[in-house]
Amino acid sequence: MHYSLDNPHEHRHHGMRHNPFKALVAPRPIGWIGTVSKAGVLNLAPYSYFNAVADSPPMVMFSSTGRKDSLSNVEETGEFTCSMATEALVDGMNLSSAPVASNVDEFKLAQLATAPSLMVKPPRVAASPAALECRLWKTLALPRTDATHPEHIVVLGIVVAIYINDAFVQDGIVNTGAMRPLARMGYMDYSVVRPDTVITLNRPVASADQQSATVQPGPWDGVYR
């Protein structure tokens, strides 16, 4: 099948039970967003409309489908954390997505201990192997299809501190595969990155005249291109 999206319900005309969009942009990293409301209530929720978007300063984004507590808290306080959701923490991650009232602390709901951040007030998930501490740069309201679809608001944050469990650092390199990060696919599907599914590729090097390129096979040549 091959169809245009002039009509937001077009997939139904092609026998698709659900919009396939998210199943086709996969796997997506999960930002497990920790915030605190102005009144001091902790909040934790997973967001798979999440990614890194810049290196210097390092920046991340997450997108809220409708106005959710994480967005309100970031707007109120300007700070959030992104803990890495992993295979070992899958049940807690899922539970923390429960649509509970804004006075409920999902760290407690999901029985996840908190650990203090270095630079921001919201804590991180203590058992998570890595976390980013972020300050709000900007929110951005995306174009809305129509009143029957919720609005999407993107939160862009600057990463001001990083936590890494030292057990996952070897020779100055983070072993991301050993952390077993969880990723979101479509529908209710997830995938897990494991050490045996990580592959390493050297970047292509252009010839002097920049008309062709070669790739050195085998392990990383050690140059960060």
Ligand X SMILES: Cc1cc2nc3c(=O)[nH]c(=O)nc-3n(C[C@H](O)[C@H](O)[C@H](O)COP(=O)(O)O)c2cc1C
Q: Does residue 22 bind ligand X (CB under 6 A)?
A: no
- For residue 106, the minimal CB distance to ligand X (Å) is 6
Of residues 152 and 202, the one with the C-beta less far from ligand X: 152
Quote the CA–CA distance of 8 and 11 in Å, as a whole number.
8
Cα–Cα distance measured from residue 6 to residue 146, given in angstroms and rounded to the nearest whole number = 13
Q: Which residues pair with 159 in a beta bridge?
A: 134
Look at phi and psi of residue 121 and say left if phi exceeds 0, alpha if psi is from -120 to 50, else beta: alpha
From candidates 34, 36, 42, 45, binder to ligand X by CB under 6 A: 45
46/129 with CB nearer ligand X: 46
Q: Binding-site residue total for ligand X (CB under 6 A)?
A: 17
CB of 220 to ligand X, least distance (A): 31
The DSSP string of 36-72 is E-TT--EEEEEESSEEEEEETTEEEEEEEESS-HHHH
Joined tokens for residue 211: 């008309």
- Of 29, 34, 42, 49, the residue at the interface with ligand X (CB under 6 A) is 49
Interface positions, 184-213, toward ligand X (CB under 6 A): 184
What pairs with residue 36 in β-bridges? 42
Which residue, 92 or 129, is less far from ligand X as judged by CB?
92
Among 39-47, 118-126, 132-140, 167-175, the segment contacting ligand X (CB under 6 A): 39-47
CA distance 129 to 105: 21
Here's the x/- map for ligand X, 90-119, by CB under 6 A: it reads as: ----x--x-x--------------------
Which window, 38-46, 76-84, 161-169, 205-213, contacts ligand X (CB under 6 A)?
38-46
d(CA 147, CA 171): 53
| Of the candidate residues 70, 83, 114, 117, the single one contacting ligand X (CB under 6 A) | 70
> Measured between alpha carbons, how far is 85 from 92 in angstroms, rounded to an integer?
9
**Which residues between 141 and 170 bind ligand X (CB under 6 A)?**
none
CA atoms within 13 A on the CB side of 158: 8
**Which residues form the interface with ligand X (CB under 6 A)?**
30, 43, 45-49, 63-65, 68-70, 94, 97, 99, 184
